[in-house]
Structure 1
Amino acid sequence: MKDLKGKMALITGGGTGIGLQLALQLAASGTNIVICSTNSERLSAGASQIRSSSPDVTVLDIVCDVSDRSSVKNLKSSITKAGLHVDILVCNSGVTTSGDFHKHRESDWDWVYGVVLFGTTYCIHEFYPDMVERGYGHLVLNGSQAGMVPDWFTQHGPYTSAKAAVHALGAGIRPEAAEHGVGVTTVIIAGTTTEIMKSERSRPDKYGEPLKSDIKKRVANRIPAEDVASQILEGIKENKGWVATHPELKERTKQYFDGILAAYDH
């Protein structure tokens, strides 16, 4: 999608981190913006920042819990009532838990899968058919290096497996979407300066108390969120199938897939 001016982008989890930085960069290109998340205060602050930096674009902030299908439907209704339609859908919302597989409760799996995987599918279900009908649009599915190489980043079982499914979803839908003039970009994100490790602050009451864990914070090469956003923006403009944010992890990824490929020889 070369010309972004006048288009409309919906970014889930757009109040902070990668989502907000991408919104700022898209708005600077003349793209109208809708951001959503579960926290109204952070969402409002993010929207104000976008409006200040790009006063000529339309900016809406809508509270939405993407793990709730009815909330996503209400999001769609709000956008439609505003006389807008989504040209670019960025499925960016993400939460994680920390702890051993066997210590995760049903509510932990339900919450992480609800946001990371089902939240992505709910948004695609609501907004992708309209793109097909118009013959134009772009989907961005934010994945993770943890989902690409699941034994690289341990202690985050629900998140890791949900992100792996997001990768499969993006790769699977891209050929079909291309037939309808819709681009699909799947993003493999590694260490970034975001607040995802504070996810538990956003856990809805219906998913119970936070999962307690004494895991030490992992040392990682974290790049600024705006750098990841720039790579995603290029992916949208060039309709890249994949964007990988950390090239230094290529060899580790190769090792993982070499192990899988070796199984075909036996």
Structure 2
Amino acid sequence: MTEITGKAAVVTGGGSGIGMGLAKELARQGASVAVADILLDNAKKVADEINAAGGKAVAIHCDVCERSSIKQLKAEANAALGPVQLLFANAGATSFDPLMEMSDDDVDWIIQVNLMGVMNTTRAFLPDMIAAGDGHIVATASMAGLLPGWIPVHVPYSAAKAGIIGFMMNLGLELKQHNVHTTSYCPGGVASGMKANNSRYRPARFGGPSEAELQITDASFKHNDLAFFSPEAVAPMVLRAVRNNRAFVFDHPDQRRYFRETYSDVVEACYDDADAYEREQGTPAANPEGAKLIGAE
């Protein structure tokens, strides 16, 4: 079980949306919080609200697309709060454009902020957790990563979020011996304000910020009955999963049917095909030398 009270936490993308909800709930449950965001004014507003309510928070600028910025975040968080034992790698961006209509900068930004931002933030804070033998890392993935065929016109985003899930699951195996846990949070519909604010978070090296509103076409949603919860409503669900050391946390239990459509139906059918092939053709002979690569010395 992961304790929250009395711990120091970092939340990237903490100035708005899901990150804001997580930062406030962490403080409500007794953690001190470094609210990190590429828009410092947003982070300051959240930190001020936490402090006014009797909690402890600091606002820190961070662009998770830059390793140097993440290192600076760690230095400032440690100076203000001490060793960080709870990391919420939440910063992200999205797009709903067809792949071949996206520029190189579009694709690079989505992959860099969503996947590499999580990986590099984790790499910065993980050594201290391993040394302490205590810690928990939460990465905000998406149902679009768990079920990549669920939302069309979402290719780089789905790829990045699926990458987060693979990263966190494999890292969890690596960290068992160190008492450090990992959780992938897969939001299924949260009113985060991303539609209006997404372009404001874009770093200069990927074209820079703008006030353009995110365009979402009808083709992006197979189902139009999606309920959107508030960040404040989902944050306690996430922290409950953290306390229980869950590998995943979902916020829409009714979406179980999409999981079944994707895996129980599609994947099971593929295994049925593999079984049928072996019945017809026989099981392929195993390589007598095991996993040795053909032609390897």
Flag the 1:114–1:183 CA change in 2: closer, same or farther, 3 A: same
* Structure 2 partner of 1:261: 268
Distance 2:78 2:165 in 1: 29
Among 86, 89, 95, the residue aligned to 1:88: 86
**Structure with the larger RCO, 1 or 2 (CA within 8 Å, 6+ apart):** 1
Give 1:22-171 correspondences, 5 Å limit: 22-53=22-53, 55=54, 57-82=55-80, 84-171=82-169
Aligned twin of 2:284: none
Match for residue 200 of structure 1?
199
* TM superposition shift of 1:50: 1.1
Give 1:215's aligned residue: 217
Gaps of 5+ in 2: 274-297
Output the TM-score relative to the length of structure 2: 0.84
Looking at structure 1, the residues matched to 171 and 95 of structure 2 have their Cα atoms a distance apart, in angstroms, of 28
Q: Is the 8 A contact 1:34 1:62 kept in 2?
A: yes
CA contact (8 A) 1:9 1:86 kept: yes
Paired residue type of 1:229: A
Deviation at 1:2, TM superposition (A): 4.5
Which runs of no fewer than 5 residues in structure 1 stay unpaired? none
Cα pair distance change 1:214/1:82, threshold 3 Å? closer
Distance apart, 1:71 and its partner CA = 0.8
Cα–Cα, structure 1 residues 214 and 260, in superposed 2: closer, same or farther, change >3 Å? closer
Whether the 8 Å CA contact 1:17–1:195 is kept in 2: the answer is yes
Q: Deviation digits for residues 60-114 of structure 1, max 9, x if unmatched?
A: 1100000111111111122233361111000111101221111111101111111
In 1, are the aligned partners of 2:10 and 2:77 still within 8 Å (CA)? Answer: no
**Aligned partners of 1:142 and 1:243: how far apart in 2?**
10
How far 1:205 moved relative to its partner?
2.0
Q: Report the count of equivalent residues.
A: 264
Q: 1:204-258 CA deviation, whole Å, 9 max, x = no partner?
A: 2211167985735864310121121111110111111111111111111111113
1:82 alignment partner, SS class: helix
Contact 1:11 1:92 in 2 (8 A): yes
CA contact (8 A) 1:94 1:196 kept: no
Q: State, as a whole percentage, how many aligned pairs show the same letter.
A: 30
Alignment of 1:233-244 (within 5 A): 233-244=239-250
- TM-score, scaled to structure 1: 0.93
Give the letter aligned to residue 6 of structure 1.
G
SS at match of 2:24: helix
Structure 1 position 26, deviation (Å): 1.2
Once residues 82 and 145 of structure 2 are traced to their aligned partners in structure 1, the CA distance between those partners, rounded to angstroms, is 33
Q: What residue is the counterpart of 2:276 in the other structure?
A: none
Task: Determine helix, strand or coil for the equivalent of 2:272.
Answer: coil
Matched-pair contact (CA < 8 Å) for 2:58–2:80: no
